[in-house]
Amino acid sequence: MDIKSKKQLNNNHQKQESNNKALYKLEHKIEKLMHIVSTVTVTPCAIILIIWVFLITAYVVGRKFFNFQWIFVEEFTGYMMVFVAYFSQAYVLRVGGHIKVNFVFKGLTKKIQSILELSTSFLAFTLICYLTWRSIRWFSYGFEHKLCSSTLHIVLWPSYLTVTIGLSLFAFELALNLCLKVIKLMEVNVSNIGVNDVTKRF
């Protein structure tokens, strides 16, 4: 290898290192933002779950030993369940708690894995965006017609709003996750380019 080739190889290596640093920096910022979103959504869920446990316990004990008939408990715990189900999705995504089929990925290369993860993330993002749009329409319908529950006659639009907010935050988290998948695919491509350059020189 002559001096000119070595110099060009060093320049390519420096460019690759610079690109990797820029990608890692962007990836770190996105992960930090995802952490903030998931923390904001999971904190009220934890508080509601604690209230839920005490409320159900008091309801069961009161009904068993003191013959209390707290009709509001079943309805309110239903609203709590809706809140927890939709607000916890962003946190579950960040910690990797959703369904995975790891045995399919074991025999695949990193590039193919990145492409598949990017494709599934895009499909999930599209689906959640559609569900968010439908939840907005349902919230608008409940708000305009002042729909009420059949038991306590409480307006239902606040419960519908929790679904809309939860899905919106989940869609935002999916968008950030989609950006991470793109960055990882770019990192794989940059690494492959570096390996190919070295191979060609030798």
Residue 129 structural domain: 22-192
Nearest in space to 196 (alpha carbons), one of 6, 18, 9: 9
Query: Is residue 200, in this structure, part of any structural domain at all?
Result: no
pTM of this structure: 0.74
Query: 83: closest CA among 181, 162, 190?
Result: 162
Please indicate, yes or no, if residue 117 is contained in any of the structural domains. Answer: yes
Per-residue pLDDT of the chain (202 residues; tens, 9 = 90+): 455 555 555 655 566 666 667 777 877 888 888 888 888 888 889 999 999 889 888 888 888 888 877 778 888 888 888 899 888 888 888 777 666 666 666 777 777 877 888 888 899 999 999 999 999 999 999 999 999 988 888 899 998 999 999 999 889 888 888 888 888 777 766 555 544 444 444 4
Per the domain annotation, does 201 fall within a domain? no
* In-domain check, residue 11: no
Answer yes or no: is 188 within a domain. Answer: yes
Predicted confidence at residue 150, as pLDDT, reads 81
Residue 82 included in any domain: yes
Q: Model confidence over 5-45: pLDDT tens digits? A: 555 556 555 666 666 677 778 778 888 888 888 888 888 89
Total structural domains within the chain: 1
In a domain, 202, yes or no: no
Which pLDDT belongs to residue 101? 64
- Name residues whose C-beta falls within 8 Å of residue 137's C-beta, 6 or more positions apart in sequence: none
Whether 49 is in a domain gets the answer: yes
